Amino acid sequence: MTQDLSHPPTDRRAWWQTCLLGALGLAAVLLRLATGTPGVYGWDSVHYVLAQDRYDLAAHQPHPPGSLYYILIARALTLITGDPHGSLVLLSALSGAVYVWALFHLDRELGGERAAWLGACLGLTAPLFWFYGSIGLNYGPGGAVCALVALGCLWMWRGSRPAVGALLAGSALGLLGGFRPSDLLFLSPAYLASLWVCRPWRVGTASPALSWKMFFSSLGLAALLTFGWLILNIVNAGGLSAYLELNRAQEHLLGRSSVFLAGWPAWNEAVFTHRRCLESAGGILWLPAILGWVLLAGRRTHALIVHRPAVRRSGESADQPSMATSPVRGRARDLLFVAFVVVPGFLFYLLGHFNSPGYSLTYSGLVAAALAAWAAAPLEIWADFRPQAVRFATLALAVVTLAVNGWLAVEGWPGKRNLGQKSLSVREIRDHTAYYQHLRRYLAAMPPTERVRLLASWNSTDGLRVVQTLLPEYAATVAQAVGEKPHLPPSFDRLTWLRLMTPAEIRSEQSQRRVLAIMRTREDPDYHEQLFGRLSDGAWEQVPIGGGHYVWLLRPEARPGF
């Protein structure tokens, strides 16, 4: 019997791996589409829907500093979906496939094949990635591009694929600014450091360096794509000075969430949000990752994960540097790469502004990849001694990761199922949809002569524009309460959609209409009570609207807190 040499076993194995990876990516897209929100989820979703019709930064369509490439891609997808919001959800779902691919290759570089498949499983079912792949916000797609930047930088930093890494990192970084410009700032240090590591003029080392052509091609792609969105946003705003003023008007967001301005309450909130994000980036894989760290502590831990000898790629000669050859060697320098990617964004969100878990997607892709690498580390050591057992253990760990993380993504963490965006679960998306269904039925059943004022929360998922969009028939009667002397920047005068009412104005309407406060999340009651008095003072009446949901009626005779 002759052996078929036309398709070597290694090629067939690579083909099956490609098919399996593609199947996981497709599964990620389909799962996110199946659990996608049918209506806008947060006020930024409304911005992005309106921006597809008219891109106007002064009207916060979208809000400054702008998301030009994100909106352009969404417009293109609208030609397929026929629905501007549906295109946002589809774009978020497609980012799920990018996470699967990016985490697979990040982990193949960090820890080998076993880690790569665990990373792909995380990309498919990790609650953080799944949640933002199911709602129409730019966090999911932006985070997927961040993962591509990290992958390109890692290929340069380790010298495994410097040319491809330079082109990938440069193009992804420039594209990233058109999704979330802040992410470009946070990841630029990692990109520039990786370029420096592979600089063409480096001498005295056998490690691979970039050619001058690839070096300038990478910089050129990053600059061209960055200036593309930046210049068009400046033109849209009416000039550079107007664009800068629009961005300065956003500084008020730092007041409540900055540790430097709001003190320790902001610190506690940021720590809680960081913890929830990190938990959701790894899910159940945190346990074997910690176990891997403990088992390997004091041994060849970092040498194993970062410098483990790798199989040469097909077509790579013995004279070429292998995947394990790195221009950057040593434990300290390996940790330095992680620091370049993670620390800038992490510290800013910890100390400056962190009111959305989606911000953590700037660096969560690399964090998830590191967890998968640590979880697979013991398997890599034992593979030489118990190959069959290790194959079974790897498969079992992958199945457990898919099953448990999938359950956490759908139902939320046990004992931590509070409503609101921070729950990071499909259950929250369903509850958000059900709330407005019950609220619409409740309002429709009221007597025709009844006049109602809806008081929206400050919360992103139940804010003014969200309520107006999901309840368009009541849009004219929706307002958002602020203090007696609201502290808002002058530029907000031109935001015609921002309908604010002071407590005094609401009090003057008590004889004419009922005032119902939209308070779905646990944060909302504190906000409204600070303005109108504690519930114990009798200012509010809890009104059930069905499905375990409530609104709060402000009593006409209520005076405490005014």
Q: Is the pLDDT of residue 300 over 60?
A: no
**Mean pLDDT computed over 386-408:** 92
pLDDT class of 314 with cuts at 50, 70, 90: very low
Closest C-alpha to 313, from 109, 557, 500: 109
Q: Which residues, at least 6 apart from 83, have a Cβ–Cβ distance to it below 8 Å?
A: none
* 171-207 pLDDT tens trace: 999 999 999 999 999 999 999 999 999 999 876 665 6
The angle at the Cα of 558, spanning 553 to 561, to the nearest 5 degrees, equals: 105
Of 110-119, 498-507, 540-549, least confident by mean pLDDT is 498-507
Beta strands at 478-481 and 452-456: parallel, antiparallel or unpaired: parallel
pLDDT value at residue 490: 59
Cis upstream peptide for 472 (omega within 30°): no
460-512: pLDDT as tens digits: 888 888 999 999 988 888 888 776 555 555 555 555 556 777 777 777 776 67
Rounded to the nearest 5 degrees, what angle is found at the Cα of 85, between the Cα atoms of 90 and 250?
A: 110
| 202: three-class secondary structure by DSSP | coil
Alpha-carbon distances, residue 421 vs 64, 182, 430, 487, 488 (angstroms): 22, 21, 12, 26, 25
Q: Which helix H or strand E contains 174, and what residues bound it?
A: helix 162-176
State the amino acid at position 200 in one-letter form.
P
- Does the pLDDT of residue 70 top 80, yes or no? yes
Which residues have C-beta within 8 Å of that of residue 544, sequence separation ≥ 6? 550
Q: What pLDDT does 282 receive?
A: 94
Q: Say which residue the tokens 């919001």 belong to.
A: 85
SS3 per-residue string spanning 246-308: HHHHHHHHHHHHCHHHHCHHHHHHHHHHHHHHHHHHHHHHHHHHHHHHHHHCCCCHHHHHHHC
The pLDDT value recorded for residue 257 is 75
| Residue 183 DSSP class | H
Residue 229 clears pLDDT 90, i.e. is over it: yes
pLDDT tier, 310 (very low <50, low <70, confident <90, very high otherwise): very low
Sheet containing 540-546, strands listed edge to edge, beginning at the edge strand earlier in sequence = 500-501, 478-481, 452-456, 514-517, 549-554, 540-546
Q: Report the 10 Å Cβ neighbour count for 142.
A: 29
- In angstroms, the Cα distances linking 189 to 183, 340, 343 are 11, 6, 10
How far is the C-alpha of 316 from the C-alpha of 308, rounded, in Å?
Answer: 18
The gap from C-alpha 132 to its chain's centroid, in whole angstroms, comes to 6
Number of residues in the chain? 562
Q: What is the DSSP letter of 207?
A: S
Cβ–Cβ < 8 Å for 281, 372: no
What is the Cα–Cα distance from 142 to 122, expressed in whole angstroms?
Answer: 17
Structure letter (DSSP) for residue 541: E
Q: Assign 259 a pLDDT band (cuts: 50, 70, 90).
A: confident
pLDDT of 296 reads 67
- Do the Cβ atoms of 379 and 117 come closer than 8 Å? no
DSSP 3-state assignment of 516? Answer: strand
Residue listed under structure tokens 């929830």: 276
Q: What is the pLDDT of residue 315?
A: 39
pLDDT at 184: 95
Contact 194, 165 (CB under 8 A): yes
Report the C-alpha gap between 267 and 258 in whole angstroms. Answer: 8
Mean pLDDT of 118-122: 96
Cis peptide before 141 (omega within 30 of 0): no
Q: What is the pLDDT of residues 350-394, one digit of tens each?
A: 888 887 889 999 999 999 999 999 999 888 878 778 888 888 999
Q: How far apart are CA 38 and CA 85, in angstroms?
A: 8
Q: What is the DSSP string of 41-106?
A: -SHHHHHHHHHHH--BGGGTBT-TT--HHHHHHHHHHHHHHS-HHHHHHHHHHHHHHHHHHHHHHH
Strand bridging mode 549-554 / 540-546: antiparallel
| Among the listed residues 7, 166, 47, the one whose alpha carbon sits nearest the alpha carbon of residue 464 | 47
Residue 559: the pLDDT is 52
Q: How far apart are CA 368 and CA 356, in angstroms?
A: 19
Helix (H) or strand (E) segment spanning residue 454: strand 452-456
Q: What is the mean pLDDT of the chain?
A: 83
- Do residues 102 and 148 make contact, with C-beta atoms less than 8 angstroms apart? yes
Which residues make Cβ contacts (< 8 Å) with residue 542, sequence separation at least 6? 550, 552, 553
CA distances (Å), origin 173, targets 55, 146, 177:
23, 8, 7
State the DSSP H helix or E strand holding residue 407, giving kind and residue range, or none if neither: helix 387-411
